[in-house]
Structure 1
Amino acid sequence: MPVEADEDPATLFRRDSLYGDAEKVSVVDKHHQQGSGASWRQTLQLAFQSIGVVYGDVGTSPLYVYSSTFPHGVRHRDDLLGVLSLVLYTLLLLAMLKYVFIVLYANDNGDGGTFALYSLISRHARIRMIPNQQAEDASVSNYSIVQEENNSQTRRARWVKHRLEASNAAKVALFTITILGTAMVMGDGILTPAISVLSAVSGIREKAPNLTQSQVVWISVAILFVLFSLQRLGTDKVGYSFAPIISVWFLLIAGIGAYNLAAHDVAVLRALNPISLLLSLVHLLPHDGMETGTEAMFANLGHFNIRAIQLSFNFILFPSVALCYMGQASYLRKFPENVGNTFYKSIPAPMFWPTFIVAIFAAIIASQAMLSGAFASLSKALSLGCFPRVEVVHTSRKHAGQVYIPEVNFLIGAASIVVTLAFQTTTNIGNAYGICVVTVFSITTHLMTVVMLLVWKNHVVYVVAFYVVFGLAELLYLSSILSKFVEGGYLPFCFSLVLMALMATWHYVHVRRYWYELNHVLPAADLAALLGRHDVRRVPGMGLLYSELVEGIPPVFPRLVNKIPSVHAVFVFMSIKNLPIPRVSPPERFMFRRVGPAEHRMFRCVARYGYTDQIEGTKEFSAFLLDRLKMFIAEEASFSCQRRTCDDTAGEEDHARRRGVGVGVVVAAEEEKQFIDAQAEHGVVYLMGEANVAAAAGSSVMKRIVVNYMYNFLRKNLSDSHKALSIPKDQLLRIGITHEI
């Protein structure tokens, strides 16, 4: 990697704005991680709130699981015991044991999800393709890398770290399964609204039998249209009602389940016998699959703490959903012919309309929560450089994770409506939905295994036990659900392949472009010659040149000077950098260094954000940057004075001379701060390189297709960097440049 253009190798100390900032940062809020900092009252309140945000997906699964599992009817009544056993033990094994008691603890400073696991790994090993890691990043308070004793587990972790960093195949594999998980979550965002709303609306045919299935589908489409139209408002506007509605839903399904269990066949409790599970694995799993949506509880951890989710799952969700499934199995043992609409058929007549209305709201809430998770996952993927910079709207001032992406919302909404119109029933949608869920389960297991080895440094016995038990269970489920590939299961694979191709294309070119610019930076010696040209003049104002590089002077700068031979009086090379952590505290946000001698008034600034942080608006950003720049100049002067006066061996005359020089340094710093304020009042101009990328001569046909067509299509139609970076159009100057990679 080339040496920083503004860095003198002979200098013993490098001064930047991070020095001392860690001492100014307030203690990080750790309540997300284990809940130990929250009182029981707060924990119970969070547990109640989590019901509406986390469990809408798995809580509405009783609407369609039996109809999806028995699309051709119940062949034998004892099959119901096997399916019920699979359902209950899936909830116990995968949802409760794996997620609630293990995976939730692998959060990234309170944030969960597939991307959080990848970020956690990338913080402990250099597995990212772009070499923008800096030593100062590890000093950020949320980085949380703990040094441990030198034992066998630590040595094994170092070995894993070395193998990951030395293997490009391992890096590509981790990146690939991460974007596959993101693509599957996006697929879940398409399928959950379709299957939940369609399942809930289908119940109306119990009271209006003259309605055709086509009419039910169109009613569902209307609800979906309204749902996606309201996404721009965000869950924060109506989220206060989510928990009460879902709580009522759980009370209703638990009561209905208990009623059916007592009224029809209590013998279904035999499904709790592990022997029933073994028999079902042999006879049913190769033919019938089932799925539960539990990834949401991990992805939404950022708004709650672990203890709150554990309480709400173990004492509210699991008893309610388990009772509902047992009640439906009991009802079907007596009326197996009603398996196509089990949920509504099993409701006692007086409770039908209240349950129907609450079911509609519960389906909408489940869809809303899943869509919020899909938007959050994609916004996190932006920081990996594997998706074009698009406008991300933060819909809540309280919760950083609640975002809305207009272009993506339109595409997901259109796809969800098309799926509903094309499949018509929940059976085929359920097949596709199951593949999405189980694939994400499996990806989480693989990433968790790396976390246990590299980050947690667990004993190898625990790691092997985790991987074998859960990996084998998910492999059985996946092999079962893949048997329904042609019956709708192909949908998430097709969608994921398209999305992964787009993400991989963007990331590949993004990485190659970064390396191209890194290898063509302007040497430090050439900067002085460039600014010293007779035709180059310094004009009033402040210029911010945006670049992906965090090292060296980007090649677009000499092009700018050659085309417009002028440089602003104060010039900042600006880089927006995403760290593999959820949040960066504002005092640690900006890191400054000088570029060239002080009289050049040129600086490098790296603005560091976590993957859940929001980039400030234009006024807030420029004011904050200006304030931190002046603070950097003041601290630099103070640091220089300390170095000059710390030599105890010097004589009194020398000390007096150094104090005089120190006073001069402080005065010069104050004058420089006043100069910067004056130039900022002249105006701030944002400069951005508009890089056209083309495949180099002699490239393969595949590379030319990827670079010249796919990437440039995405860049022209989706990328709108100035909006994503909150840059006003009237202050933006684009500089065209072409890279051949």
Structure 2
Amino acid sequence: MTILENAETRKSSAEQSHGVKSSHAMLMLGAAGVVYGDIGTSPIYALRETLRAATNGAGVAAKAEIIGSLSIIVWALTIIVTFKYALIVLRAGNQGEGGTLSLAILARKVAGRAQYIVTALGVIGAALFFGDAFITPAISVLSAVEGFVLTDPDIAGYVIPITASILITLFAVQRFGTSKVSAVFGPVMLVWFGCLAISGLGHILDDPSVFQALNPLEAIAFAIDHSTVALAVAGAAFLAVTGAEALYVDLGHFGRTPIIHTWFVLVFPALVINYLGQGAFLLSNAGYVDQPLFEMMPDWGRIPIILLATAATVIASQAVISGAFSMARQAAQLHLLPRLTIIHTSETQSGQIYLPQINWLLLLGVLSLVLGFGSSDAIAAAYGISISGQMLVTTLLLALVMRGVWRWPLALVVVVAIVFAAIDAMFLTANMMKFFEGGWVSIFMSSALLAIMVVWTKGSKRLFDKTRKHEIPLTTLVNSLKKNMPHQVPGTAIFMTGDPDSAPTSLMHSLKHYKVLHEQNLIMTIKTLPVPFVEDEERLTITPVDDGFTRLTVAYGYMEDPDIPGALKELRKKGIKFDIMSTSFFLSRRMLVPAASGLLKGLMTRSFIRLTRFAADTTSFFRLPTGRVVEIGTQVVL
């Protein structure tokens, strides 16, 4: 920055600098609440479950088991969250946006012939994310509510009803928007991380030998000496890093620098100090394992910390729910899922959205887990498979980006990819060992979402190919109309179609039944481009066909919601004059009928037809004026 001698200018520059610092601080505070909500609540159960795995559920851990388990947790946080996500993955922004689908789209650009494989990995990663979205609210809230049992054992019978009530309330308020609640997320989590650090410091000197856990050789020695339980311990220790993917998913909301600074300045130190404090507390109490985080609190502070933990788990759950909404919107815009009803709950923040179908589906799944498993210990067995699988997908896609986009040396890419992939594969294998104990739930939920995406994409392609066979080229229709022009009526008609080269079915049926043609006809196609956002100057593509027909392509990014009236306002600026309130929108409403076919094909066809019934209404999805829409039905046999 150039230093000017003018005093007023120096004052202005100082004010701007203060504004930047203030904005950065607010982003860091917001990141503490949203990005780190999940990983920040892991101390409630991560060390507890790791030690139970190390002792085969004995409940009393020896010093070597405590030090070894702590070392695995600390170095998992260091390697996976710090090195992999904070320092490398966060660099892979697609126009500033993150997440598995964004990374897959970025990798597709350099994948060459492997584009279909990259797309498949992106779809699998998205499905795995949804598997995690079901489990995180269940285990987080349940583990916090279980803490009340320490204050009054009689509460044990009410843990499930209290947890269910909190979760039902959380999902019920989603339709009102989270902007007001989100305003307190950061401050609450700031207090939470402060309490984690203070409580850890208060006990870390109970047994200074706990600092041995900072030596990575302790983790290696433990794995060698306890080979029979090493994988089980790794699977439990993985609970400490669940939520790491949130750093990348929320990249577009907060930016890379605030997320990284929040991790190094606040979250990472607080977590490490607290885990060491828990370990020292256990070492000084004969290694008895129950609820170390809550038990090491003074009696007067136990209830307040449990209440704060409950609030923190609700925040962690809210962050996952919001992430699921965002991921579902991306998937729908990329045509991996049916169109979803999207309700914007904020006039200023486009990311504040509510998806009713996804919301109630998540609530049903979360309550099923709470009621079915009954305790956070049991749910912990289901936790980890989907997240570790998603992390492995991220590593594979990242390798393509490092080599093809960043142009890193091949040797460096190979080394980095192998190290991260080996660690991810180890944790995935460790979590797969819990398959029959509950891990099957994660696989089932992710597989169900994956099946829905596959059915929808394949069914949509079949429907497109089927309808295209019965349509004629638009230019052929236009030329034939010149020879035998039907009666023309004043005004503009917009025919929406997925294939701009063919005459829309709605246009053909309009000519057949009404036998009239508007003076101005726009053949409109909505395209979703493989970028988060589309610049305004690239939004519209206008291609005249003749004096009465014009092709119009409206492009959106996968993070944008289609707004046809808004796009048409720009169209008028480009010289195409019309009054939107006197314009008719013609849509094709297809009635799908399954054809006689084999068992598998018939099942997929019927599943696709059922999915179409859950798709959001075209008129509301594209924000069309309801009084100006004409839907023309046609039957299609699939």
TM-score, normalising length from structure 2? 0.90
Counterpart of 1:211 in structure 2 is: 155
Counterpart of 1:531 in structure 2 is: 481
Aligned equivalents of 1:74 and 1:544: distance in 2? Answer: 72
Aligned equivalents of 1:504 and 1:525: distance in 2? Answer: 34
Counterpart of 1:630 in structure 2 is: 572
Task: Please give the secondary structure, in 1, of the residue aligned with 2:411.
Answer: helix
- Give the counterpart letter for 2:231 in structure 1: P
Whether the aligned pair in 2 keeps the contact of 1:82 and 1:277 (CA below 8 Å) is yes
Counterpart of 1:645 in structure 2 is: none
Change (3 A) 1:553 1:456: farther
Aligned equivalents of 1:189 and 1:210: distance in 2? Answer: 31
CA shift, 1:517, in A, is 4.5
Quick check: 1:564 aligned with 2:514? yes
Whether the aligned pair in 1 keeps the contact of 2:31 and 2:262 (CA below 8 Å) is yes
Counterpart of 1:610 in structure 2 is: 557
1:437-586 equivalences in 2 (<5 Å):
437-518=387-468, 521-532=471-482, 536-586=486-536
Whether the aligned pair in 2 keeps the contact of 1:520 and 1:554 (CA below 8 Å) is no
Task: Please give the secondary structure, in 1, of the residue aligned with 2:586.
Answer: strand
Counterpart of 1:593 in structure 2 is: 543
For 1:517-562, what per-residue CA distance to the aligned partner results, in whole angstroms no more than 9, with x for missing partners?
5555522452235534758322233222211224443344323322
CA shift, 1:281, in A, is 3.3
CA shift, 1:298, in A, is 0.8
Counterpart of 2:218 in structure 1 is: 276
Quick check: 1:420 aligned with 2:370? yes
Counterpart of 2:610 in structure 1 is: 713
CA shift, 1:46, in A, is 1.8
Identity of aligned residues (%): 30
1:720-731 equivalences in 2 (<5 Å):
720-731=617-628
Aligned equivalents of 1:549 and 1:279: distance in 2? Answer: 62
Change (3 A) 1:92 1:67: same
Counterpart of 1:192 in structure 2 is: 136
CA shift, 1:703, in A, is 1.8
For 1:312-354, what per-residue CA distance to the aligned partner results, in whole angstroms no more than 9, with x for missing partners?
1011000001111111112222336642322211212232122
Aligned residues: 609
- Give the counterpart letter for 1:253 in structure 2: L
For 1:301-320, what per-residue CA distance to the aligned partner results, in whole angstroms no more than 9, with x for missing partners?
11212111111101100000
Counterpart of 1:373 in structure 2 is: 323
CA shift, 1:740, in A, is 4.9
Counterpart of 2:175 in structure 1 is: 232
For 1:19-60, what per-residue CA distance to the aligned partner results, in whole angstroms no more than 9, with x for missing partners?
xxxxxxxxxxxxxxxxx9x94443333222211111000000
Counterpart of 2:6 in structure 1 is: none
Counterpart of 1:259 in structure 2 is: 202
Change (3 A) 1:369 1:114: same
Task: Please give the secondary structure, in 1, of the residue aligned with 2:290.
Answer: helix
Change (3 A) 1:188 1:205: same
Aligned equivalents of 1:388 and 1:54: distance in 2? Answer: 28
Whether the aligned pair in 1 keeps the contact of 2:62 and 2:287 (CA below 8 Å) is no
Counterpart of 1:43 in structure 2 is: 24
Aligned equivalents of 1:88 and 1:585: distance in 2? Answer: 43
Aligned equivalents of 1:615 and 1:341: distance in 2? Answer: 49
Structure ranking higher on relative contact order (CA contacts 8 Å, 6+ apart) = 1
Aligned equivalents of 2:490 and 2:538: distance in 1? Answer: 29
CA shift, 1:456, in A, is 1.9
- Give the counterpart letter for 2:491 in structure 1: G
Aligned equivalents of 2:620 and 2:257: distance in 1? Answer: 39
Task: Please give the secondary structure, in 2, of the residue aligned with 1:573.
Answer: strand
Counterpart of 1:667 in structure 2 is: none
Aligned equivalents of 1:680 and 1:287: distance in 2? Answer: 63
Task: Please give the secondary structure, in 2, of the residue aligned with 1:287.
Answer: helix
- Give the counterpart letter for 1:106 in structure 2: A
Aligned equivalents of 1:550 and 1:86: distance in 2? Answer: 57
Counterpart of 1:201 in structure 2 is: 145
CA shift, 1:65, in A, is 0.9
Counterpart of 1:250 in structure 2 is: 193
Aligned equivalents of 1:228 and 1:712: distance in 2? Answer: 28
Task: Please give the secondary structure, in 2, of the residue aligned with 1:450.
Answer: helix
Counterpart of 2:9 in structure 1 is: none
- Give the counterpart letter for 2:249 in structure 1: A
Aligned alpha-carbon RMSD (Å): 2.3
For 1:437-472, what per-residue CA distance to the aligned partner results, in whole angstroms no more than 9, with x for missing partners?
211111111111122232222211121012100000
Aligned equivalents of 1:378 and 1:630: distance in 2? Answer: 33
Counterpart of 1:61 in structure 2 is: 42
With 495-504 and 558-567 compared, the bigger mean Cα shift is at 558-567
The counterpart of 1:314, out of the listed 253, 258, 264, is 264
- Give the counterpart letter for 2:147 in structure 1: G
Whether the aligned pair in 2 keeps the contact of 1:521 and 1:552 (CA below 8 Å) is yes
Whether the aligned pair in 2 keeps the contact of 1:191 and 1:416 (CA below 8 Å) is yes
CA shift, 1:696, in A, is 6.4
- Give the counterpart letter for 1:511 in structure 2: K
The counterpart of 1:241, out of the listed 174, 181, 184, is 184
- Give the counterpart letter for 2:452 in structure 1: L
Counterpart of 1:287 in structure 2 is: 232
Change (3 A) 1:472 1:396: same
Quick check: 1:100 aligned with 2:43? no
Quick check: 1:360 aligned with 2:310? yes
Aligned equivalents of 1:338 and 1:197: distance in 2? Answer: 24
CA shift, 1:423, in A, is 0.8
Structure 1 unaligned regions, length at least 5: 1-35, 126-159, 165-169, 634-672
CA shift, 1:694, in A, is 5.3
Change (3 A) 1:434 1:39: same
Aligned equivalents of 1:391 and 1:532: distance in 2? Answer: 41
Aligned equivalents of 1:52 and 1:725: distance in 2? Answer: 33
CA shift, 1:227, in A, is 0.4
Whether the aligned pair in 1 keeps the contact of 2:586 and 2:632 (CA below 8 Å) is yes
Structure 2 unaligned regions, length at least 5: 1-16
Aligned equivalents of 1:574 and 1:108: distance in 2? Answer: 28
CA shift, 1:111, in A, is 0.9
Higher Rg of the two aligned structures: 1
Aligned equivalents of 1:524 and 1:725: distance in 2? Answer: 23
- Give the counterpart letter for 2:211 in structure 1: L
Aligned equivalents of 2:98 and 2:272: distance in 1? Answer: 25
Aligned equivalents of 2:256 and 2:186: distance in 1? Answer: 18
Task: Please give the secondary structure, in 1, of the residue aligned with 2:520.
Answer: strand
Whether the aligned pair in 1 keeps the contact of 2:507 and 2:586 (CA below 8 Å) is no
Whether the aligned pair in 1 keeps the contact of 2:468 and 2:502 (CA below 8 Å) is yes
1:110-121 equivalences in 2 (<5 Å):
110-121=96-107
The counterpart of 2:332, out of the listed 382, 391, 394, is 382
- Give the counterpart letter for 1:202 in structure 2: E
- Give the counterpart letter for 1:684 in structure 2: T
Whether the aligned pair in 1 keeps the contact of 2:210 and 2:276 (CA below 8 Å) is yes
